[in-house]
Chain A
Amino acid sequence: MATSWLEPNVIHTFAVLLIFQTLGEGLAFAFSLPVPGPVIGMLLLFCYLVARPRAADTLAPTTLEFLKHLSLLFIPAGVGIMVHAERVAAEWLPIVVALVVSAAVSLVVTALVLKWLQK
């Protein structure tokens, strides 16, 4: 089911997300944690959902619709690559090797560990 903008559920959901983000950012700042504030907000919301499973049903329609277009949110930061063009031109070889090797290592190691532990 698609939710349309400015439905009460959409506003409610964003208010909840912002409350948890604010809590997360506040805790990260107060205790000078090296973990990003929104990640702490995500963990707090996760704990809240475990305690109150019904809240998940209320939040799910809007959040899942929102996360479908998560890609859009990466674009402003991605365009920032133009600022780093010189760095990338100078260091392309280590960057490419690191990316290719690490992706292969990650696929192989994760699959082997899981296969082995799953008996």
Chain B
Amino acid sequence: MTPGISKVWVYLSASPLLWLTATLLAYQAAYALYARSRFNPLVNPVAIAVALLVAILVGTRTEYTAYFEGAQFVHFLLGPATVALAIPLYQQLPKLRRNWFALLAAALVGGGAAIASAMGFAWALGASPATVLSLAPKAVTMPIAMGVAEKIGGLPSLTAVLVMITGILGAVSARWIFNLMKIEDHSVRGFALGVTSHGIGTARAFQVSEEMGAFSGLAMGLSGVLTALLLPFVLKLLGAA
């Protein structure tokens, strides 16, 4: 006699295989929607895949720890992916050399203003310390942001979601903010978008022009490195972490 479908489910849901497969399928489905929307930043594939998986996990009463047993194999690749960011950053080196002082200063001041305003507003409106610390690195690329969140006492998975929302916010609002400010230069637009919205902003910038995309990528790399190197030290000095 073959075991019933519920027994097969119990067997499979206890193995890492099921949730690893589900993660890849959810991403593919979400990416297909994103492509169909012609890469509209509002149809963010991470947001859709996460929503899909959370719905399935809640529907099947599966604990996050059971899901993570399988998904950890994908999660592990964040480390090598962070290291790999050195290559696109290196390829932007000529742009950085030409104007290094202005670009470094803009990344430092702009990124600093993003961190200070996020932490300040959240704190003033009564957010808990763990939430405030999870908000601090939300403007930089997700693997770096999660690593920093862990180091400073935030919640990496909350940071992951905040990073995603920040990326979408910047990507959909940048155009009218720059128009309002009368900023036309694609290098300035791209750089500001990269500091604000990391990879999601960079993907958006590449749709507008190659130049805007390249500067956005450079900004994302610089602000990621600056945040990872400085934020934990600054918070330590201030005694907040």
- Residues of A that sit less than 8 Å from B by CB: 14, 17-18, 20-21, 24-25, 34-39, 41-43, 45-46, 49-50, 56, 59-60, 63-64, 66-67, 70-84, 87-88, 91, 93-95, 97-115, 117-118
The smallest beta-carbon distance between B20 and chain A, in angstroms, is: 9
Q: Is the CB of A118 within 8 A of B74?
A: no
Listed A/B pairs (12) with beta-carbon separation below 8 Å: A36-B147, A45-B86, A46-B90, A66-B80, A67-B88, A71-B45, A87-B158, A94-B124, A98-B125, A102-B138, A107-B196, A118-B188
Main secondary structure of the interface of B (DSSP, over half): helix
* CB proximity to A under 8 Å, residues B184-241: 185, 188-189, 191-193, 195-197, 199, 219, 224-225, 228-229, 232-233, 236
Q: Does B90 contact A49, Cβ atoms closer than 8 Å?
A: yes
Q: By the criterion CB–CB under 8 Å, are B71 and A111 in contact?
A: no
Chain A nearest CB, measured from B216 CB (Å): 11
Task: Tell me which residues across on chain B come within 8 A of A43, comparing CB atoms.
Answer: 86, 225
Contact flags B163-190 to A (C-beta < 8 A → 1, else 0): 1111001100110011001010100110
Contact assessment for B23 and A42 in the assembled complex, using a CB-CB cutoff below 8 Å: no
Check if B110 sits within 8 Å of A35, measured CB to CB.
Answer: no
Q: Is there contact, CB below 8 Å, between A103 and B197?
A: yes
B77 within 8 A of A: yes
Bound-state CA distance A64–B130 (Å) is 34
Complex Cα–Cα for A3 and B214 (A): 23
Q: A76-B68, A117-B102 are in contact. Are A107 and B193 (CB under 8 A)?
A: yes
Give every chain B residue within 8 A of A39 (Cβ-Cβ).
82, 144, 147, 224-225, 228-229
A64 adjacent to B88 (CB under 8 Å): yes
Contact of A34 among B71, B99, B130, B232 (CB under 8 A): B232
Contact with A along B38-69 (1 / 0, CB 8 A): 00000001110110011001100000100110
Partner of B166, one of A87, A97, A103, A115: A103
- Identity of the chain B residue whose Cβ is nearest the Cβ of A59 in the assembled complex: B87
B161 close to A78 (CB less than 8 A): yes
Give the complex CA separation of A101 and B125 in angstroms: 13
Contact in complex: A95, B169 (CB < 8 Å): no
List the A side residues contacting B148 at CB < 8 Å.
36
Cβ–Cβ contact B75 & A77, under 8 A: yes
Q: How far is the CA of A73 from the CA of B125 in the complex (A)?
A: 32
| Contact, CB under 8 Å: A74 / B183 | no
Give min CB distance, B179 to chain A, whole Å. Answer: 12
Taking each of B24, B68, B72, which has the highest tally of chain A beta carbons within 10 Å of its own beta carbon? Answer: B68
What mask results when residues 92 to 110 of chain B are scored 1 for a CB within 8 Å of chain A, else 0? 0100000101110111011
User: In whole Å, how far is A84's beta carbon from the nearest beta carbon of chain B?
Assistant: 5
With a cutoff of 8 Å between Cβ atoms, the chain A residues found around residue B15 in the complex are none
Interchain CB contact under 8 A, A24 and B83: yes
Q: Known contacts being A42-B85, A76-B75, A117-B101, is A106 close to B225, with CB within 8 Å?
A: no
Most chain B beta-carbon neighbours within 10 Å: one of A24, A59, A76: A76
**Is B126 an interface residue when CB atoms closer than 8 A count as contact?**
yes
A111-B192 CB under 8 A given contacts A94-B121, A99-B165:
yes
Contact A98 B233 (CB under 8 A): no
Closest to B128 in A: A91
A49 near B53: Cβ-Cβ < 8 Å = no
A36 and B85 CA atoms in complex are apart in Å by 14
